[in-house]
Amino acid sequence: MDFAVKIENLTKSFIDIRAVDDISFNVGKGEMFGLVGPDGAGKTTTIRNLCGLIRPDSGNITLLDIDLIKHKKEAQNKIGYLSQKFSLYGDLSVDENIEFFADIHGVRNYLDRRNELLEFTRLTPFRDRPADKLSGGMKQKLALACSLIHRPQILFLDEPTTGVDPVSRRDFWKILSGLIKEGITILMSTPYLDEAERCNRVALMNKGKILGLDTPQNIKKSIDREVIEIVCPEARKAYKIIKGEPGLEAQLFGDRIDIVVKNSDARLNNILDLFNQKGISITSYRVIPPSLENVFIHLVGDNKENI
């Protein structure tokens, strides 16, 4: 595989906090790669290192066979970056913001490209509207259009759909799918594990470390577990009961408890009998494969002493 991004032993600390802790991975050309994890996992710091916005304490970063640390400007000319916070000019129109970024990147004949991006992001009817007057989803689309004006080969997206309504989130993913078809490499961070399912490969991060790296499907298979999903009115009480049982790993999601087990056939009846003895009524139950969320919680639990 040809790699667009190569990271070797990347480390970055801020005072006494190691935000990124000796991580290594590669991203293939044309791949959609996800950095997945909660706030404080190190996702933003990793992306800022990859964009050359901050310098790592140690490690190597290669973008399209260019050493980022030695040839930062050359590498930056080939990438686009959408930051976590909206950072465009609110008093400038949609058209003017894109024109400004075209000037920054030295794009001279940008009019056709701008029109193409506005059509692509469905912002053409709003091209004269000030950026401050756009909805959250439209602001993200404008930021994306600005990051694409110079035709980057790699696009870095830092939690692009956080705080965006569900409809705009769906539209944004349609746009990203179109970019992948054009051959652009996308590396994005997200706290949403359902979004991670759309990526070719993901790295599960927590406290600066990578806990798992593979395709979503392979990561789910890697823990060799099944999930007994139980829905009941007294979910919190049932959760505490299961937490006290040796050999059972319980995860609480609202009125649902996911019990991660190695052999559901051998454990299911025992669990149902236990709830019956404790007076816990069950609305429904089923055995399902683990989700990425199940896997992430499981891996964090297994690595508590190491993170």
Give the domain ranges of the chain: 3-220, 224-289
Q: Across residues 63-72, what is the average pLDDT?
A: 96
Q: Across residues 131-160, what is the average pLDDT?
A: 91
Q: What is the reported pLDDT for 302?
A: 61
Q: What is the reported pLDDT for 303?
A: 52
H or E stretch at 44: helix 43-50
Q: What is the reported pLDDT for 172?
A: 86
3 state DSSP class of 15: coil
* Secondary-structure percent of the chain, ordered helix, strand, coil, rounded to 5: 40, 30, 35
Q: Across residues 161-185, what is the average pLDDT?
A: 87
Label residue 66 by pLDDT band (50, 70, 90).
Answer: very high
Q: 116, 119, 121, 124: which is closest to 93 by C-alpha? A: 124
Average pLDDT, whole number, for the chain? Answer: 91
Give the global pTM.
0.88
Give the integer Cα–Cα distance in Å for 49 and 45: 6
Residue 161 tokens read as 């759909």
- Over the stretch 77-109, which tens digit does the pLDDT of each residue have? 999 999 887 778 889 999 999 999 999 888 988
User: What is the identity of the amino acid at 138?
Assistant: M
Q: How many helices (H) and strands (E) does the chain have?
A: 11, 14
Q: Are 81 and 160 in contact, with CB atoms under 8 Å apart?
A: no
Taking CA 17 as the corner, what is the angle to CA 12 and CA 18, rounded to the nearest 5 degrees? 35
C-alpha dihedral sign at 70, 76, 81, 83: positive
Q: Is the pLDDT of residue 306 over 60?
A: no
- Over the stretch 3-42, which tens digit does the pLDDT of each residue have? 999 999 999 999 889 999 999 999 999 999 999 999 899 9
Q: Across residues 122-141, what is the average pLDDT?
A: 91
Does domain 224-289 match CATH 3.30.70.920? yes
Q: Is the pLDDT of residue 304 over 70?
A: no
Q: What is the reported pLDDT for 24?
A: 97
Q: What is the reported pLDDT for 266?
A: 85
User: What is the identity of the amino acid at 267?
Assistant: R
Q: Which of left, alpha, beta for 106 (phi over 0: left; psi -120 to 50: alpha)?
A: left
Q: Is the pLDDT of residue 171 over 90?
A: no
What are the φ and ψ backbone dihedral angles of 39, each rounded to 5 degrees? -60, 140
Q: In the sheet where 3-14 sits, what is the strand order?
A: 17-28, 3-14, 58-63, 66-67
Label residue 184 by pLDDT band (50, 70, 90).
Answer: very high
Label residue 58 by pLDDT band (50, 70, 90).
Answer: very high
Q: Is the pLDDT of residue 162 over 90?
A: no
The fourth-level CATH superfamily of domain 3-220 is P-loop containing nucleotide triphosphate hydrolases (3.40.50.300)
Buried b (16+ CB within 10 A) or exposed e, 16-45: eebbbbebebbbeebbbbbbbbeeebbbbb
Q: 247, 251, 265: which is closest to 294 by C-alpha? A: 251
In a 10 Å sphere around its CB, with 0-12 CB exposed, 13-18 middle and 19+ buried, how is residue 270 labelled? exposed
Q: What is the reported pLDDT for 307?
A: 32
